[in-house]
Amino acid sequence: MKRLFVIFIALFASSLVFANQEEFNAGSTIIGHVTDAHSWHMFDYKVNDSTSHAVAIPLPIVLINDGHLDMFMSSRFGHPHNGKYQPYKGYLLVGGGLEREEIICVDEDGNPKVDAAGNVVKPIDISVTKTSAAIMIACILLICIIFVARSAYKRNPNQAPHGLQSLVELLVVFVRDSIAKPMIGPKHERYLPYLLTLFFFIFFCNILGLIPFFPAGANITGCIAVTGILAVITFLITNLSGNKHYWTDIFNTPGVPAWLKIFPLMPAVELLGVFTKPFVLMVRLFANMTAGHIVILGFVVIIFILSNLFGTAVGGAVSVVSVIFSVFISLLECLVAYIQAFVFTMLTALYIGMAVQEPEHHAA
C-alpha cells in the first residue's frame, strides 16, 4: 500500500508538469519506451524558459560510412563537436507523427542526404544501443546470481539450500524435470545447459523490463531482433541434431498416400514447418512482452492526456484509477514473464526432442 501511494504521488506530480504543455504526443511516448534507442533516456525536466530538456545516458555510436569507421558518443547528436560539421542525425520522422531512432547522413545545413534514386543515405550502424547495453547488464547480473548460488553450494555442500540458492535450485530442477526430461527423453542432459540458459535469460530479461528505472527498464524481449536470434539458435540446434528418422519423417512422411509424396505436397508442407516453428517462437515472445508494456504505458499516458484536455484536477483524479490498473497489469506481467520463458523453453525442448527421438520398435 505504501508503494502504491508513492506511485500515485509520482504520477500526480508528473501530471502537474505535463498539464502546462501545449501538446503531449502519447503515441510517440509509448513507442519511444518500447523501441530501441541510441541513448538511455532517464527523464525530462523544464527550465525557466519552459523548454524541456532530456536527461539520458549516452551510448557509443559506431558507424561505417563510405568505407570509413566513425565512433563517437550519442550525446554529440545535435551538438557539433568543437564547432565542426556533424555529418549524422539521430532521428528520422516517420508517418503518423511518431519518431523512431535511426541514424541518417545529413549535409552542412542539417538536411538529409539523398542518393540518385531519391532514397535517404544511411550509414551501416553497428552501435551499442539501449537494448544491447541492457543485454550486457542482464548477462552480468545473471552470471553474478549464478556464481553466488554456486559458491553457496561449495560452502555448504551437505546443507539445505536457502535464500537465493533456493530460488536458483527450484528453477533448475523445474527446467530439468518438467521440461527437458519429458520433452527430450534420455538425451536431455546434452541439451540441458542450453535450455537452462534460455529459460534464465528470457525470464530475467522479462523481469528487468518491468522495473521502470536504470539499469532496468529496457524492453529486451520486446525487440524482434533479440527474439529472432534466440529462435535462430533453436533452429540451428534442432536441425543440426536431427537424426535420420527426423529427416525421413519430413521427406517421406509415414502413413501418407504415395501420390502426395510424389507430387510432392506433404514433403513441402513438412519442410515449411521446419521454418515456421522458429518463426512462431520469435513472434510469440516479442508480441506478448511488447503488448504488456504498451498496455501499462497506455494507462499512464491517460493521466497526461486528460490533464491537457480538462485540466490538472481531472488528470489527478484519473491517476487513481490509472495507478490501480497499472499495478494490476504489472502484477499480471510478472506472471506473463514467467509463462513466456516457460513456453519458449518448452517448445524449444519439444522441437529438439522431435529431432533426436528414435523410432519405436514394437514386439511382434
**What is the rounded CA–CA span in Å between residue 218 and residue 205?**
9
* Per-residue confidence (pLDDT) for residue 266, from 0 to 100: 76
Residue 280 belongs to some domain of the structure: yes
* Per-residue confidence (pLDDT) for residue 24, from 0 to 100: 61
Higher pLDDT, 199 or 293: 199
76 lies in which domain range? 25-128
Higher pLDDT, 282 or 25: 282
Residues 192, 90, single domain; the answer is: no
Residue 16 belongs to some domain of the structure: no
Give which of 211, 217, 215, 183 is closest to 199, Cα–Cα: 183
Residues 151, 102, single domain; the answer is: no
**What is the rounded CA–CA span in Å between residue 116 and residue 42?**
40
Residues 124, 135, single domain; the answer is: no
Residues 121, 147, single domain; the answer is: no
C-beta of residue 344 within 8 angstroms of C-beta of residue 277: no
User: Residue 350: pLDDT above 50?
Assistant: yes
Residues 198, 277, single domain; the answer is: yes
* Per-residue confidence (pLDDT) for residue 52, from 0 to 100: 66
Percentages (nearest 5) of helix, strand, coil residues in the chain: 60, 15, 25
Higher pLDDT, 244 or 346: 346
Residue 102 belongs to some domain of the structure: yes
Label residue 69 by pLDDT band (50, 70, 90). Answer: confident
User: Residue 91: pLDDT above 80?
Assistant: no
Of 95, 128, 161, which one is at a domain's C-terminal end? 128
* Per-residue confidence (pLDDT) for residue 25, from 0 to 100: 67
* Per-residue confidence (pLDDT) for residue 198, from 0 to 100: 94
Virtual CA dihedral for 248, 249, 253, 255, nearest 10 degrees?
110
Label residue 195 by pLDDT band (50, 70, 90). Answer: very high
Residues 229, 337, single domain; the answer is: yes
Residue 113 belongs to some domain of the structure: yes
**What is the rounded CA–CA span in Å between residue 257 and residue 261?**
7
Out of 59-68, 139-148, 235-244, pick the least confident: 59-68
Residue 11 belongs to some domain of the structure: no
Total structural domains within the chain: 2
Residues 268, 323, single domain; the answer is: yes
User: Residue 191: pLDDT above 90?
Assistant: yes
pLDDT, mean of residues 48-68 = 77
pLDDT, mean of residues 256-263 = 68
Residues 246, 107, single domain; the answer is: no
pLDDT, mean of residues 247-268 = 73
Residue 204 belongs to some domain of the structure: yes
Model confidence over 123-176: pLDDT tens digits?
888 888 888 999 999 999 999 998 988 888 888 877 777 778 888 889 999 999
* Per-residue confidence (pLDDT) for residue 166, from 0 to 100: 86
Residues 122, 193, single domain; the answer is: no
Residues 135, 261, single domain; the answer is: yes
Greatest Cα pair distance, the chain, in angstroms, is 89
Label residue 90 by pLDDT band (50, 70, 90). Answer: low
Of 81, 106, 128, which one is at a domain's C-terminal end? 128
Tell me the backbone φ, ψ of residue 100, rounded to 5 degrees.
-125, 145
User: Residue 12: pLDDT above 70?
Assistant: no
In the numeric block, the cell 542432459 is attached to 189
Residue 301 belongs to what H/E stretch? Answer: helix 265-310
Out of 65-79, 88-102, 340-354, pick the least confident: 88-102
* Per-residue confidence (pLDDT) for residue 267, from 0 to 100: 77
* Per-residue confidence (pLDDT) for residue 89, from 0 to 100: 67
Give which of 46, 10, 24, 4 is closest to 306, Cα–Cα: 24
Supply the mean pLDDT for the chain. Answer: 79
Of 128, 150, 184, which one is at a domain's C-terminal end? 128
Higher pLDDT, 117 or 94: 117
pLDDT, mean of residues 179-207 = 92
Residues 68, 195, single domain; the answer is: no
DSSP string, 149-176: HHHHHHH-TTS---THHHHHHHHHHHII
Residues 191, 113, single domain; the answer is: no
Tell me the three cell numbers of residue 23: 501538446
Residue 364 belongs to some domain of the structure: no
Tell me the three cell numbers of residue 215: 539499469
Residue 298 belongs to some domain of the structure: yes
* Per-residue confidence (pLDDT) for residue 78, from 0 to 100: 54
